[in-house]
Structures are given as structure tokens and as C-alpha cells.
Amino acid sequence: MNPEPPRNTRANTLAALRLEPAASVPVFDGTVWEAVQLGGNFKYESWTDHWGTVWQAELPGMVPTDVGHPLADLDRLADYPWPDPWALTWTAADQQHLDRLKQRDIVVGGAHIKFVCERLCCLMGMDNFLMALVEDPDRVQVVIDRVVDYNIVCLRRLMDLGVDILHVSEDLGSTNDLLLSPELFRRFLVPAYARCFAEAQQRGVMIDFHSDGAILRIVPDLIALGITCLNPLEVTANDQPRARELTLGKIAVLGGINSKIVQTGTPADVRREVERAFALWAPGGGWIAAPDQVLTGAPPENVRVFWAACWEAATRSC
């Protein structure tokens, strides 16, 4: 009799996240985890959030673009109306949805989208924020401190709901390098993250940290902060063997499979990419197999082959 093929389970995903022996490599096919968020944290549409940032949606279901920045000029800082984190909503319907998630065999997350660097980019505009780190550091620090105070309350509210893991989004890299120097990252962002994550660490709640782009130069810093999982370690932006060397046995990783190949390659290319990723990332555990970006626009046959190849490889990993 053939053994039962693997499937994602809460226990198996938790083992991978905790760098413990897992029955097989979890496959991020929609059954690894689901996350809730406080109402008003983020929307995938055109809207103005309660920070005053104006968002323009270009394509349905895709992340909208920030087009209006209430603190583009820091001379507005004295009169800026800081938002109340308790204004974010949690309804009876939200609680019913969360209760249903907790009855499933999955990990339940709490998402806080636009964290510190991303939030300041949205408030000030990316160029303004990055320039002000050098030219106006004292006032930037004021904004960072207020954002951190807000985040602490939001993360506490999510943890009080009983989630297993916090998901924070914080794009720190471009295709080629970090958006800011490691020195500025360590001066401004590391202390901010330490404050944000302190309570989660005290309460034993895991942290999933999302950052697109080239971030290998700060992976040791993220590990030192006690982050549980790093995603997605984009293949085209990060040297993959070096990424595995830096993370093995120190932090879990979700991602590591080149989504561009799924979007533009042949089915045979897709299978080869999945095999490459499993050969690198599966040994040693602590990996959740996933594309490094959403597979928007990928040919349906490539998507089918991608998930089939992932599960075939996961079966061999048992």
C-alpha cells in the first residue's frame, strides 16, 4: 500500500516555523495559514486611509499605489492629526470568521500591512522619507516613534484575538540592493522593530516578516530581532545559496521559488525551477515552499504544473 501523500497541517506548519523536524515540506497553496486584519488597516482598492494617505488601485486585487502623502512636507508635522489605533474596527462578523478559522487545521495569523519603513514611505513619499533620514533625522525619528506607538497597540489587539503568528509587511529592498544603507537601517529601524516585537516575544507569538527586494545584507539583523519567518527572499534579487546559508537553522523561510518562471516559462521550466528550489531549501527544514510573488497572469497550465510539482517534491521530502 502506498503511503498517504502529505498535506498541510497546522502541526506540520508549526514545526517548520519553529525549525523543528516536519513530516514534509509545507506547500503554500492556500492551506498553510490564513490571516485576519483589523478593519481599516488596508484595502485593495482606491481609498484614503485614516493616516491621510491616498491610494489608487490600478488592477483589481492588486496592491494599490500610494499617490497622496500627508507628511510630504515635515513642516506639517506640528499640526498632523495622528490616527487612533483603536479606530480600526473588529466586528462580530470578523470574530465569527476568526472562530471558523480556528476550527480548521491551519495556522491563524494577524496581518498588519504597512509597518514602519513602508508606513513612513506612505506618509511622506519614498524619496522624501529616504532623504529626510539624512537631512532631517530628528523629525523623522518623531514620526517613527509615533508609528511604533500605533503599531504596538495594533499588534497587541491582534494578539489578544489569539492568533498564532503576526504578519507584517515591510518592503526594504529594490531589485539590486536595500532602499537604505545598513547603517541607517540599524540606526532607525532596528530599534523600532525591537519595540514593536517585544510583546510578541514575551507572549510567545511568532512573527512573519515580509520584505521584497534584495535584503541579504540585513538578514542577520532580522534574525537577531527574533523574527520567526522571513518571506519571500525573491530569487531574482537575492543569491539563493547565500540566502540559505544565512538562514539555515536560524529563521524559517517562506518563498524561494521564482514566480517569473511560472509566469513566463514553459511547464518544463516550471518543473525545473521547483526541483531547483527543493534541492536547495528542503534539506535542513525550516522552509515553506512558495512562489516569491503572487502568480498573477501566469498561464493556467503553468500554475497547475507548479502546484503539482511542489506536492510531488513535498512527497519525496517525507
Q: What is the pLDDT of residues 121-165, one digit of tens each?
A: 999 999 999 999 999 999 999 999 999 999 999 999 999 999 999
242 pLDDT exceeds 90?
yes
> Is residue 107 within a helix (H) or strand (E), and if so which, with residue range?
strand 107-112
Mark whether 76 and 183 lie in a shared domain.
yes
- The last residue of one of the domains, among 199, 232, 265, is 232
Mark whether 68 and 152 lie in a shared domain.
yes
CB atoms within 10 A of CB 80: 16
pLDDT single digits (tens) 200-214: 999 999 999 999 999
239 pLDDT exceeds 80?
yes
Mark whether 25 and 70 lie in a shared domain.
no
Q: Is residue 241 part of a domain?
A: no
What CATH number does the domain containing 116 carry?
3.20.20.210
Q: Specify the number of domains making up the chain.
A: 2
188 pLDDT exceeds 80?
yes
Mark whether 272 and 293 lie in a shared domain.
yes
Rounded mean pLDDT of 12-19? 98
**Cα 161 to the chain's mean position, in Å?**
20
Taking the C-alpha atoms of residue 295 and residue 270, their distance in angstroms, rounded to an integer, is 12
Give the pTM: 0.96
Q: Is residue 248 part of a domain?
A: no
What's the confidence (pLDDT) of residue 3?
55
More confident residue, 2 or 27: 27
pLDDT single digits (tens) 42-81: 999 999 999 999 999 988 778 999 999 999 999 999 999 9
Q: Is residue 27 part of a domain?
A: yes
The parent domain of residue 211 ranges over 34-98+108-232
Mark whether 195 and 125 lie in a shared domain.
yes
Q: Is residue 307 part of a domain?
A: yes
Tell me what the pLDDT averaged over the chain comes to: 96
What b/e readout covers 264-291, taking b as 16+ CB neighbours within 10 angstroms?
A: ebebeebbebbebbbeebbeebbbbbbb
Q: Is residue 240 part of a domain?
A: no
Query: Residues near 148 by Cβ (< 8 Å), separated by ≥ 6?
Result: 116, 192, 195, 196
Q: Is residue 169 part of a domain?
A: yes
- Bridge partners for 90 per DSSP: none
Q: Is residue 54 part of a domain?
A: yes
Mark whether 197 and 310 lie in a shared domain.
no
**pLDDT over 70 percentage in the chain:** 98
Mark whether 49 and 26 lie in a shared domain.
no
**Cα 72 to the chain's mean position, in Å?**
26
Q: Is residue 115 part of a domain?
A: yes
The pLDDT confidence band at residue 1, using thresholds 50, 70 and 90, is very low
